[in-house]
Amino acid sequence: MRVLVAGAGGAIGRPLVRQLIERGHEVVATTRSPAKLEKLRASGAEAVVMDGLDAASVGEAVARAEPEVVVHQMTSLAGTNDLKHFDDTFAVTNELRTRGTEHLLAAADAVGVRRFIAQGYTGWPYARSGGPVKTEEDPFDPQAPAPAMQLSLDALIRQEELVRAAPLQGVVLRYGSFYGPGASEPLVELVRARKLPLVGDGAGVWSWIHVDDAAAATVAAIESDVTGVFNVCDDEPAAVARWLPYLAQVVQAPPPRRVPVWLARAVAGASVVAMMTQVRGASNAKAKSHLGWTPRWSSWRDGFRHALGPGVSRATSAARARADAASCREG
Ligand SMILES: NC(=O)c1ccc[n+]([C@@H]2O[C@H](COP(=O)([O-])OP(=O)(O)OC[C@H]3O[C@@H](n4cnc5c(N)ncnc54)[C@H](OP(=O)(O)O)[C@@H]3O)[C@@H](O)[C@H]2O)c1
């Protein structure tokens, strides 16, 4: 198939392009930066410059590519980890999820694209009531876990509405929290510096996914003809109180500090408290049965050890982080 990947140079875009090429698909990879074209071409893709927030630029790129499938993997999260001011941190990403999706869908419609796959998010958007693990049948909470997250929740909901209403085969992949190459170095640095404490009882449940597994699920969605929303995460949703001390152990950091809720709320804000103590995890059963996909790293325990453990040296991950930063600066 001929597949246009918008946001091909990001944490998920890179393994996705690699896997698509390996499976014999033709890939048109987009970036905003002419300086990144060569690197994208080296991966075996055709590369084009496209600004996802500029309707004309999107229209031109999609019309020229004439893809059968469009994949929206554009976010703007590199170099930001301020969760206290969540909506500020996610402001451009929210635009990409709403306006960016509108531009891509309009361009896709104009050239008769058959399938459209968008990057969503699972986990904290689900209502924080009932059981700890949610399926796609469970509602998102209309009220975000904290006021500072409301615009980001609204953008995720709007993106799903846009894809559902579009006159093509639409899929939203609600990815769990990414880890793996290019996806978790800032998190690991926080844990090593003991700057990611265990808040309160640490009962917030997270669903993780290795970026290679997220890319594999995306390939499965591209190659299938199913539509709708799918949680794409591993088999083991886990409370922060379980995964955070384990992650510290894996990256050979001291155990995380413990911080009471009142102090975390004052210092880090209500978003962080909600994510550490209240949020729910997600079930991947629908993605497994409908996409015929199984995560290689079915548990974050094995995945963390493989992707972040002692075998992956600090030097390697620091070098990767420096290379990522350099490629961002070039951009
Ligand atoms: N589910 C999750 O947990 C999740 C999801 C997404 C990201 N993250 C995390 O966030 C961090 C950064 O993510 P990332 O590496 O994917 O980088 P990013 O900076 O979020 O960029 C991702 C892609 O979006 C593209 N992009 C950004 N703005 C654009 C625009 N206006 N028009 C067109 N394309 C645009 C970038 O393309 P160019 O820069 O080449 O133009 C890049 O290819 C990583 O740690 C990652 O793991 C996590």
Could you report the per-residue pLDDT of 178-231, keeping only the tens digit for each?
999 999 999 999 999 999 999 999 999 999 999 999 999 999 999 999 999 999
Q: 97 C-alpha vs ligand 1 centroid, how far in Å?
A: 12
Calculate the average pLDDT of the chain. Answer: 93
Pocket test of ligand 1: the residue of 77, 189, 308 to mutate, having most ligand atoms within 8 Å of its CB, is: 77
Residue 319 has which token pair? 């070098």
pLDDT given at position 330: 39
Write out the residue range of the structural domain in which residue 60 sits.
2-329
pTM for the structure as a whole: 0.94
Question: Which percentage of the chain shows pLDDT scores above 90?
Answer: 90
Distance from residue 215's CA to the centre of ligand 1 (Å): 14
Spatial distance between the Cα atoms of 181 and 153, rounded to a whole number of angstroms:
27
CB burial of 141-157 (b: ≥16 within 10 Å; e: otherwise) equals beebbbebbebbbbbbb
Locate the ligand 1 atom nearest the alpha carbon of residue 6 and give its number.
Answer: 34
Total domains present in the chain: 1
Residue 60, classified by CB atoms within 10 Å of its CB into exposed (0-12), middle (13-18) or buried (19+), is middle
CATH of residue 31:
3.40.50.720
Amino acid identity of residue 284, one-letter, is: N
How confident is residue 312, by pLDDT bands cut at 50, 70 and 90?
low
Per-residue model confidence as pLDDT tens digits over 71-97: 999 999 987 778 899 999 999 999 999
Residues near ligand 1 with C-beta < 6 Å?
7-11, 13, 31-33, 36, 50-53, 74-78, 96, 121, 175, 177-178, 182-183, 186, 331
Residue 193, classified by CB atoms within 10 Å of its CB into exposed (0-12), middle (13-18) or buried (19+), is exposed
What number does the ligand 1 atom closest to the CA of 50 have? Answer: 33
